[in-house]
Amino acid sequence: MRDASSWTLSLGRWFGVPVRLHASCLVCALTIMYIACRAFPDQEMVGYGLLATVTWLTSLLIHQAGHLVAAARLGGICERVVISPLGDLVPVSVPQDARRELIAAMMGPAFNAIVLLIVTPALLISGSDLRELLLSPLVPQHLIDGGFGLVALKMAFWCNWVLILVNLLPALPMDAGRAVCAGLRPTMGEKDSVVMVARVGALVCIPALWIWGILDAKTGVMPPWFPLALVSVYLFFMARHEIMRMEDDERDGDLLGYDFSQGYTSLERPGDGPRREPGPLRRWLKQRREQKQRRIRQIEEEEERRVDEVLARVKDVGLEALSAEERALLQRVSARYRDRLS
């Protein structure tokens, strides 16, 4: 199975949930700093670059907090958080109901919208023209005009507005794409809904983004084609990742239900020729996946051992005496047991 946690940096456990930062976030942070230093090579612009990086990461955390709150209120769980430059890569698990999944998916943009409502009055009082930020998010004009506090408010408005717009794209892994998958699942099934949204979403959204860039041809520190190129590449490869993940899940399910009493040779399809030896890159990637799976198994075994200790404590002192981390541990392990049984 292809894991979205690959190429990530651990940020520890928050309230018992493992939080990881995708490597692409570091690339984006370095890009922001590079553009700031190249455009205005003075110390003040370096500070604005750091401010933009921190504001963007904070907006991502606020976005993810919306999903976590939705999962907690809807009876779902979150086994881990993987933060990418445009949102979360691992959706929260809620009971398979289209309405609940829609709420869980769109709660992230809703929390970003709450930030807009909070900072908008202060920006209006300061006399800032919000139309430029709303209508030209690709190349925001006058973003760094004013004092440091005013610039921080503008950046908070702009970062959360961009996250809302991007996550309303009906493509995976954007939140609107997950919402569309939830609506199609009852009629198309899990795999077909994901494959269709991944392919159609990438084919529709990528040209639409470029048309948007052509219409919004304002020039600034960063040309419009640069962020559009990054988003297009992101959507394309994430669509491929979702499709391959579903194929791997289906293949694993076929193997779990296969009768091996006739040996392994009957797994080969008629007409299949000799398989080619994998190249060095594939072997290296396979080794990394196997190492990661071993680490995951070790973590699961350690958590299951800890569950025995927690259950012993529950017997002695009751469920109310458990900490938030211990409660989250019980939820994760119980969810894992349910998945195995299903």
Instruction: Give the tens place of pLDDT for each residue, 119-175.
Output: 999 999 998 888 888 887 877 778 888 888 999 999 999 999 999 998 998 888 889
Quick check: 4 pLDDT over 70?
Answer: no
* Token digits of residue 276: 């080619």
Residue 337 is predicted with a pLDDT of: 78
128 close to 76: Cβ distance less than 8 angstroms: no
Could you say which DSSP state residue 144 is in? Answer: T
User: Tell me, what amino acid is at 234?
Assistant: Y
Residue 264 is predicted with a pLDDT of: 45
140 three-class SS = coil
Question: Of the candidates 175, 174, 194, 176, which has an alpha carbon nearest to the alpha carbon of residue 184?
Answer: 194
Average pLDDT over residues 25-53: 75
Residue 81 parent element (H or E): strand 81-84
d(CA 100, CA 94): 7
* Token digits of residue 35: 């553009």
Question: Of the candidates 174, 182, 227, which has an alpha carbon nearest to the alpha carbon of residue 201?
Answer: 174
Give percent of the chain above pLDDT 70: 78
d(CA 220, CA 268): 57
Quick check: 315 pLDDT over 60?
Answer: yes
Quick check: 303 pLDDT over 90?
Answer: no
Question: Domain boundaries in the chain?
Answer: 8-252, 287-341
In the chain, which residue ranges form alpha helices assigned H by DSSP? 23-39, 43-73, 98-125, 130-135, 148-167, 175-188, 190-215, 225-256, 280-317, 324-341
17 three-class SS = strand
d(CA 113, CA 117): 6
* Cβ neighbours, 10 Å, residue 107: 22
Give percent of the chain above pLDDT 90: 14
Residue 66 is predicted with a pLDDT of: 92
Cα(first)–Cα(last) distance of the chain, in Å?
Answer: 17
Q: What b/e sequence results for 26-42 when a residue is b if at least 16 CB atoms lie within 10 Å of its CB, and e otherwise? A: eebbebbbebbeeeeee
HSE at residue 132, side-chain half, CA atoms within 13 A, is 16
* Token digits of residue 64: 């993810």
30: pLDDT confidence band, cut at 50, 70 and 90? confident
Average pLDDT over residues 234-252: 71
Residue 266 is predicted with a pLDDT of: 46
Cα of 196 vs its chain's centroid, Å: 19
Pairing of strands 17-22, 8-14: antiparallel
